[in-house]
Structure 1
Amino acid sequence: MTITVLDSYTAMKEILRAPVGDREGMLRSMLESIAGMYRYFPGEVDLVAFHRQAAGFPIDRDEERCLDALETMAAAGAWERMQQALDAAAAVLVDATPGFSVPDITVLLVLGDPGDANFMGPSLGVTGFGGISGYITIPFWPYPENLERLESTAVHELNHNLRYSPGGVVWDPMTVTVGEHVVGEGLADAFARQLYGDLGYTRIGVPTLHDDAAFAKVVTGLGITGMQNFSAWVHGDTIAEHLGVTPVGLPTGAGYSAGNRLVDAYLAATGKTAAQALHVDSAEIIATALG
């Protein structure tokens, strides 16, 4: 098992300094390393279009702002810290799940778009995509709070990656529930907290950790299927509306805070660590937590 954190710092700096007409081709070349992440998508995937949809850095504006942000990340040792954190976290997860074969993983830390109001505002300048085995991407803006949580953000996504890798939990788009998504976020946060304490909480979920009304509302939706509905239940109304999803009456990050509460209750009841619970069925976690 090898985890490779790509040298996107060098690639992004070259892209942002290149003539505007050359940047799209250079960006596409950088993104080829993670093309396998889209292997389940129908038809040919436009990597640059997905980059834009995921609030990746722009290639036609904000060059100096982005270059400054890159230097801030480099000065903080972002890429080196991420590599060290992922290697250490993978060892913990492997030790806790005997017999599980961890895949090779390619990781892309990519600068986010400072002109994307949703990314910079409600999403707090960081998102992550780790659910496709073998690939992790993290769009990132170096707010001080995000730099402080860099390691925990990375291992959160690693937890997703190994939960849904072969030999783990199967994410079937036809039958997967809000409950699986919520529990998955809770498990990933719990694992990050196992390693980094309270820095392991995903930032958007922190304000509602003790919001009993939000928790109760999320619980009513745990059995819902249809992935198009999930954002409203997990990310909350504001982000859901940005994505064109019908809101359900939840504050930002409610699914994350609910997931933490469910998982913490399960871990307390069973005495397991978050790492040991990596592949536990979400229905078992929910039943134990709410029992």
Structure 2
Amino acid sequence: MSITVLDTCSAMRRILLAPMADRAGLLRSMLEPNAGMYRYYPGEVDLVSVHLQTSGFPIDRDEERCLEALDTLEAAGAWERMRRALDDALAVLLEATPGLAVPDITVLFVLGDPADEHFMGPCQGVTGFGGISGNIAITLWPFPENVERLEATAVHELHHNLRWSPGGVVWDPMTVTVGEHIVGEGLADAFARQLYGDELGYARIGVPHLHDDAVFDKVLTGLDVTGMENFTAWVHGDAGAEHLGVTPVGLPMGAGYAAGNRLVDAYLAATGRTAAQALHADSAEIIATTLRRG
């Protein structure tokens, strides 16, 4: 088992400095090692198109701005920091869950698009995806708060990856609920907080509503919702839903993260477990434990 953080720093610099006609090909080559992330997509996937559609850095504009951002990340030691954080976090998870099955994991870390208003605004310049076993993707703009949280962001996605890997919790697209997704976000945040503390460990989008009882109560009404096309509205809120063209449900950005943290914290307090020990905890049990505590 190994965790490979791809050297996207030099690859992105090469892309941004290349003649425009060469950039798509170079970008495709950079993205190819993490193509396994799309193995469940129907049909053939154009990696360049997916990159551009999911707030990845542009290849036809903003070169200087992106090169400056890349310099910021390189100066901060971003790639080395993520490698160390992931290795350290894996050791904690292996100690907490003896016999844990760990796949080889490929981590793709790329700059975001500084002209993408949704990414730079509601998403606060960071998105991550770790739900496909063996693959993690993080897209980031180096706002100071995001650079501070590089390690926490990486281990959040690692927790997702190992929770939903073979031998862990089954994510069945036909039956999975909003509750499972929200609990997963809460557990991943709790794990990041276990390692890096509350100041750095919370996903930024959930922080404004951590103590909002009205938001929490509203999210609870959607826990049994199925159909993954509905999840964005409940997890990321109306801003995320409207960005994807799905029906909003009257929740602020990051509502599901805030509610997930509250559900998980109540469960961990009741059981005395750590987030690492609760890697494969059943979401229904977590929810039930919390609701019993009132």
Q: TM-score, normalised by structure 1?
A: 0.99
Matching of residue 209 in structure 1 with residue 210 in structure 2: yes
Partner of 2:29: 29
Partner of 1:267: 268
- Correspondence list, 1:146-225, <5 A: 146-198=146-198, 199-225=200-226
For residues 159-200 of structure 1, what are the alpha-carbon distances to aligned partners after superposition, in whole Å with 9 as ceiling and x for unaligned? Answer: 000000110001000000000000000000000000000111
SS at match of 1:110: strand
- Correspondence list, 1:219-238, <5 A: 219-238=220-239
Partner of 2:93: 93
SS at match of 1:129: strand
1:243 deviates by 1.0
Question: RMSD value over aligned CA atoms?
Answer: 0.5
Structure 2 unaligned segments of length 5 or more: list them: none
For residues 65-93 of structure 1, what are the alpha-carbon distances to aligned partners after superposition, in whole Å with 9 as ceiling and x for unaligned? Answer: 00000000000000000000000001101
Q: Tell me how far apart the structure 1 counterparts of residues 83 and 54 of structure 2 sit (CA, whole Å).
A: 22
- Correspondence list, 1:45-194, <5 A: 45-194=45-194
Q: Tell me how far apart the structure 1 counterparts of residues 245 and 76 of structure 2 sit (CA, whole Å).
A: 35
Name the aligned partner's letter for residue 207 of structure 2.
V
1:239 deviates by 1.6
SS at match of 1:131: strand
Q: Tell me how far apart the structure 1 counterparts of residues 286 and 49 of structure 2 sit (CA, whole Å).
A: 37
1:288 deviates by 0.5
Name the aligned partner's letter for residue 247 of structure 2.
T
Partner of 2:17: 17
- The aligned length equals 291
Q: Tell me how far apart the structure 2 counterparts of residues 54 and 182 of structure 1 sit (CA, whole Å).
A: 21
Q: Tell me how far apart the structure 1 counterparts of residues 246 and 48 of structure 2 sit (CA, whole Å).
A: 23
Q: Tell me how far apart the structure 2 counterparts of residues 91 and 9 of structure 1 sit (CA, whole Å).
A: 26
Partner of 1:281: 282
Q: Tell me how far apart the structure 1 counterparts of residues 173 and 237 of structure 2 sit (CA, whole Å).
A: 20
Q: TM-score, normalised by structure 2?
A: 0.98
Partner of 1:258: 259
Q: Tell me how far apart the structure 1 counterparts of residues 117 and 217 of structure 2 sit (CA, whole Å).
A: 29
1:53 deviates by 1.5
Q: Tell me how far apart the structure 2 counterparts of residues 18 and 99 of structure 1 sit (CA, whole Å).
A: 46
SS at match of 1:4: strand
Name the aligned partner's letter for residue 256 of structure 1.
Y
Name the aligned partner's letter for residue 54 of structure 1.
T
For residues 220-267 of structure 1, what are the alpha-carbon distances to aligned partners after superposition, in whole Å with 9 as ceiling and x for unaligned? Answer: 000000000000100010121011111000011010000000000000
SS at match of 2:129: coil
What fraction of aligned residue pairs are identical, expressed as a percent?
78
Structure 1 unaligned segments of length 5 or more: list them: none
Q: Tell me how far apart the structure 2 counterparts of residues 68 and 102 of structure 1 sit (CA, whole Å).
A: 36
Q: Tell me how far apart the structure 2 counterparts of residues 101 and 254 of structure 1 sit (CA, whole Å).
A: 31
Q: Tell me how far apart the structure 1 counterparts of residues 287 and 218 of structure 2 sit (CA, whole Å).
A: 14
**Segments ≥4 residues shifted beyond 4 Å:** none
Q: Tell me how far apart the structure 2 counterparts of residues 100 and 85 of structure 1 sit (CA, whole Å).
A: 18
Q: Tell me how far apart the structure 1 counterparts of residues 240 and 37 of structure 2 sit (CA, whole Å).
A: 23
